[in-house]
Amino acid sequence: MAVEQQNTGTQEYGFDPLSDPQEARILYATLDSFRQYRRAAHYNITHIRRQSFYALPSAQNDVLSSPPISMLKTFAAVDRAIESNAEIAEAILAVGLPSFGIAAEDHRWKNCARPSDLDKARSTIRQMYRDWAFEGLPERQAAFVPIMSALEKHFSDLAPSERHQCKVLVPGAGLGRLVFELCAAGWTVEGNEISYHQLIASNYILNLVGGAGAHKLHPWALNFSNHKSRAHQLQAVRIPDVNPVEYLEEASTRLASEVHYSDRMTMTAGDFCVLYRQSEHRERFNAVTTCFFIDTAPNVINYIETVRFCLAAGGIWINLGPLLWHFESGPTPAEIEKQSGRTKKGPRKDGNVDIDAGIGEPGSFELCNDEVLALLEHYGFDVIEHRDAPPTGYIQDSASMLHNVYHPTFWIARKR
């Protein structure tokens, strides 16, 4: 099923997820998790805390209810923050349903979200802080500027108005901000994302949000730990920080781009290793950029082989990120499929390339950075630049008493 993206490009799903029962269940659970955001957050964040609060001895209850602590007022303020966040979730849902041709009154998609789906909805809403709030700019600059500077350096023979000639792929596009910024810089860019949560949310924010500052987001309200003050916990930011359509219009005019931005920006849904090993993508891109992505692989060799397949000879792969291997402490997608009783179809071949091998294939391992670089050399890349990237948080509350800081690596590899 192809879904037309208004204004900023097209989102080419290329298939109907409702035609496969398992895929439909995943999509239904995603939609339902946004529907349940309001109720689940109120229950898990404030209702349960109120129950614990009222179970305290009355003398302690009185102290905590009175100024300067006023715990009940805090719970009420958090409830209001949840209401504000829920407006974002429900706006995403309102766009997601018609995007897949699902009626709001169709009960098949309701009440099927699991706790893990609800967690993903909460995480997606919070990630809006990093990708689409002004306050997230330092994190975006730390991650995006080295990538964008590398593209400009390695394709310096192209004038800004001619950058559309360079086709850039962004696997793990998430909420679409890097794709958006690359398009604004003049490149022809295609994002790919496997998560329905991220796809539906990015579709809303890029195409239908209405304007800058349309929503008030409370990114830290659902977490009660490591706050110096309640004001920090209840901090509100406006999203998006720009009007996406106006931003791209202005950038396109400034660059005098020869191709309209709506023809230079696309998003695809699906497993990166499955989709981009298909024959139509062979040597299609001049550059691949990966940002906080390669450690999402149970088997990073699959990612390397897929990039090599879809990257043109002499093309460059620009990578920035840590190596927080996502499946180190939990079951891999293949193990989850086995536990659920699913039977995976056998692979199809395209030359010597297994185009069905994706993130759900069996096998998993974790490498250090030096070993990843060695694999690149083994699989047909020359590492032409390698250095430490600026330290950065990831959806980090700058006022928190706990800071997790990444010291990511940055490298550029050229396909032989």
Residue 395: give its domain's CATH number.
3.40.50.150
Mean pLDDT of the chain: 91
Query: Would you mind telling me the total number of residues written for the chain in this entry?
Result: 416
Phi and psi angles of residue 284, each rounded to the nearest 5 degrees, phi first: -85, -25
pLDDT in tens, 277-290: 999 999 999 999 99
In the numeric block, the tokens 């905590």 are attached to 64
Tell me the residue range of the domain where 408 lies: 116-330+356-415
The answer to whether position 408 is within a domain reads yes
Q: How far apart are CA 113 and CA 31, in angstroms?
A: 8
Strands (DSSP E) contained in 194-264 are: 215-217, 237-239
The answer to whether position 169 is within a domain reads yes
Q: How many domains is the chain partitioned into structurally? A: 1
Is residue 89 within 8 A of residue 121, CB to CB? The reply is: yes
- Give the mean pLDDT of 102-113: 96
Is residue 272 within 8 A of residue 244, CB to CB? The reply is: no
Q: How far apart are CA 290 and CA 172, in angstroms?
A: 7
Give the pLDDT confidence score for residue 344 in this predicted structure. Answer: 42
| Cis amide bond preceding 68, omega within 30 | yes
The answer to whether position 133 is within a domain reads yes
The answer to whether position 391 is within a domain reads yes
Query: First CA to last CA across the chain, in angstroms?
Result: 36
Quickly state the pLDDT bin for 241 (edges 50, 70, 90): very high
Quickly state the pLDDT bin for 360 (edges 50, 70, 90): confident
The answer to whether position 263 is within a domain reads yes
**259-298 burial code (b ≥16 CB/10 A, e <16):** eebbebbbbbbbbbbbbbbbeebeeebbbbbbbbbbbbbb
Alpha-helix runs per DSSP H in 270-410: 272-275, 300-310, 333-340, 369-378
Judge whether residue 33 has pLDDT over 90: yes
Phi and psi angles of residue 331, each rounded to the nearest 5 degrees, phi first: -70, 145
Residues 6 or more apart whose Cβ sits within 8 Å of residue 86: 37, 38, 41
Give the pLDDT confidence score for residue 416 in this predicted structure. Answer: 96
- Give the mean pLDDT of 309-318: 98
Give the pLDDT confidence score for residue 157 in this predicted structure. Answer: 97
The answer to whether position 89 is within a domain reads no
The answer to whether position 53 is within a domain reads no
Is residue 298 within 8 A of residue 42, CB to CB? The reply is: no
Is residue 26 within 8 A of residue 196, CB to CB? The reply is: yes
The answer to whether position 33 is within a domain reads no
How many CB atoms within 10 Å of residue 71?
A: 17
- Give the mean pLDDT of 14-19: 77
